[in-house]
Structure 1
Amino acid sequence: MPEAIAYAIDGPTGRFSRTTIQRREPGPTEVLFDIVYAGICHSDIHTARGEWGPATYPLVPGHELAGVVREVGADVTRFAVGDRVGVGCFVDSCGTCDQCRAGTEQFCEGPGGTVWTYNATGRDGLPTAGGYSTCITVEQDYVCRIPDGIELVNAAPLLCAGITLYSPLKRWGAGPGTRVAIVGMGGLGHMGVQLAAAMGAEVAVISQTRSKEEDGRRFGASEYYAISEPGTLRGLRGSFDLVISTVSGDQDLNALVRTLKVGGALVDVGLPEHPVALNLSGLAAGNRILAGSQIGGIAETQEMLEFCAEHGLAAQVEVIGGEDINAAYDRVVASDVRYRFVIDTATFTS
């Protein structure tokens, strides 16, 4: 069986350390690829630290994988050795339920449901292990092709951060003639600004402070607002067709709802750890919509990658080694990264 060097954590209060894990030999329709870069998503941190419920330890997180195909099964038709590929938040599903047939495999309703890239149980009956490792074996239908116009290091975060913003922007009609606000300018938010601007929308950033204003405007925002400045959200009432919140901490949803135009939508992708309170009168008063969004299916993820290549969009990254993961987690929680940590797996063997 293929062997991978990985970084794993042994408990919610543990530290990452180097280890060795086994990957399965690729079956007839599976792809084995060498992971070159793996992004660090805040979801990794929530899971590793037990903040979203119990996890299976030792845990190898990572659902933003970019690499190069090493081996393919005999019946693989979509990929060949040497292809540049990526894997996102899930690696399998039943393939036959209504959701899978509709291209929304992330909501699989079949036996076992969606199989997540880590902290789940794979088709081999073993716990899945993610991208903080040197290789992985995945069914070809859950692998995306990385367009030549995107460097692998910048592509990795697109497999989660990119699709997480692309999907709701597309669904809720971001484009010419619409005014879109992105709340938060982190790993998700900086992609949201770029994507919304490329779609032709007028884009505003709503951040805690103005410390990232120069970046926000460089990414395509024409307006930038700081919640720390008194009266900011009150002054934005009735302003936006679409507001996407990427914030995972506490926030005033009632104030954000009121920044919507009549019929506007507030979409949350940040998944706050604690419950939030909402006064429904703010929705009813303007036929406003409160929605959530997760990621996207494989076809939509591939579409997002092609869109990014066409428009020259890329995640802005800080490359680290495996030995830096522990410190990187603390820096992500402290919002001290611009804008995504990406692990270079070449450091695992050095």
Structure 2
Amino acid sequence: MASTKSYAAYDSSSKLKPYDFNRRKVGPKDVQIDILFCGVCHSDIHMAHNDWGMSVYPLVPGHEIIGRVTNVGQDVQNFSIGELVGVGCMIDSCRECSACEQDLEQHCEKGMIMTYGSPDPFGKDTITQGGYSTQIVVDHEFVLKVSEDLDTKAVAPLLCAGITTYSPLRQWNVKAGDKVGVIGLGGLGHMGVKLAVAMGAEVVMITRSQEKGEDAKRLGASDVLVSTDEEQMLAHHGSFDFLLNTIPVKHDITPYIPLLKLGKAMAVVGASLTELNTMPLAFGRRIVAGSLIGGIKETQEMLDFCAQHNIVSDVEMIDMQDINAAYDRVMRSDVKYRFVIDMQSLRDQ
């Protein structure tokens, strides 16, 4: 057992506070990782606050993990001590169902084991604990290789925001010359812009804010469409090959549907309630689809793609002790575009 420092939510309303616990012993197929950096995802806040009604406490959030291997089990051949690695939103699945056989472990029919907040298959009556901690032990099949050529701290959000936007772009075959609209510019949206541009698409930022649109141009977008401007929206009707909707709050998606060409799709990746009038779907044979992170194989593909194109997230670094202030800022959309925790600050505490 390895003594581990962390920050945890003790209930749905209190601030996150220090929490010491033990990680399991390294098994034959395990990789032990010293965590260097961990991204802060809005999902962490939802889980800490029990917004989805599934949280068990104490809860250590964090599923955008970058670190170095410190130990490997006797059966592990694909990782070595000192190697730079990542861990994303899940750390296990049944590996036997039809979804797992298709490398879609996030849709495991028995339920994926999330990096935190899931029943821990290695502990009785315990839950998995995440990356707001000094170390983690993970089955080698759910550990990812990370390029040393990228800015290590800025790689962390790729493990969630990166794969969440990469997967639907690949699923709907976005390619060079396609016109792609990214709806909403936040942690997810800014990665959608960068990735779609790297795929060769003409990217249009669709936003209510002209100011955000201008920042999207810095990220690589070629144009800005202000969604509250009816004349602008009408001018773009029927012109998009794909729409990536990253809005994380309740909204009406109906006005965006007519922007799609005949038979084209909008993928919704923001976890929120939406409203939809189906008329524009029927009359344009258009598609609204959902997408949930990505499987391990696709996540590794995304990391390799980002290394090839030198893509990382725009991040703001914080100490572990500043996590509660960071949560407040995320809820006010006051970050460009992801917080990342320097875990040395936790070790030094």
Q: TM-score, normalised by structure 2?
A: 0.96
Structure 2 equivalent of residue 287 of structure 1:
285
The CA RMSD over aligned residues, in Å, is 1.2
Matches of residues 200-211 of structure 1 in structure 2 within 5 Å? 200-211=200-211
Moved more, 95-104 or 74-83: 95-104
1:162 maps to a residue whose letter is G
Structure 2 equivalent of residue 107 of structure 1:
107
- The alpha carbon displacement at 1:213 in A equals 3.1
What is the alpha-carbon distance in structure 2 between the residues aligned to residue 51 and residue 80 of structure 1?
A: 39
2:49 maps to a residue whose letter is R
- The alpha carbon displacement at 1:227 in A equals 2.9
What is the alpha-carbon distance in structure 2 between the residues aligned to residue 295 and residue 228 of structure 1?
A: 29
Matches of residues 1-350 of structure 1 in structure 2 within 5 Å? 1-110=1-110, 113-125=111-123, 126-229=126-229, 231-272=231-272, 275-350=273-348
Distance change (3 Å), C-alpha of 1:237 and 1:252: farther
- The alpha carbon displacement at 1:157 in A equals 0.4
Structure 2 SS opposite 1:242: strand
What is the alpha-carbon distance in structure 1 between the residues aligned to residue 26 and residue 231 of structure 2?
A: 57
Q: Is the 8 A contact 1:234 1:255 kept in 2?
A: no
| 1:165-212, Cα deviation, whole Å (9 max, x unpaired) | 000001111111211011111111111000000001100111221223
What is the alpha-carbon distance in structure 2 between the residues aligned to residue 117 and residue 3 of structure 1?
A: 18
- The alpha carbon displacement at 1:94 in A equals 1.2
What is the alpha-carbon distance in structure 1 between the residues aligned to residue 245 and residue 311 of structure 2?
A: 20
What is the alpha-carbon distance in structure 2 between the residues aligned to residue 54 and residue 143 of structure 1?
A: 25
What is the alpha-carbon distance in structure 1 between the residues aligned to residue 144 and residue 261 of structure 2?
A: 37
What is the alpha-carbon distance in structure 2 between the residues aligned to residue 341 and residue 207 of structure 1?
A: 22
Equivalenced residues, count: 346
1:172 maps to a residue whose letter is W
Q: TM-score, normalised by structure 1?
A: 0.96
- The alpha carbon displacement at 1:54 in A equals 3.0
Q: Which runs of 5+ in 2 are unaligned?
A: none
1:282 maps to a residue whose letter is P
- The alpha carbon displacement at 1:4 in A equals 1.1
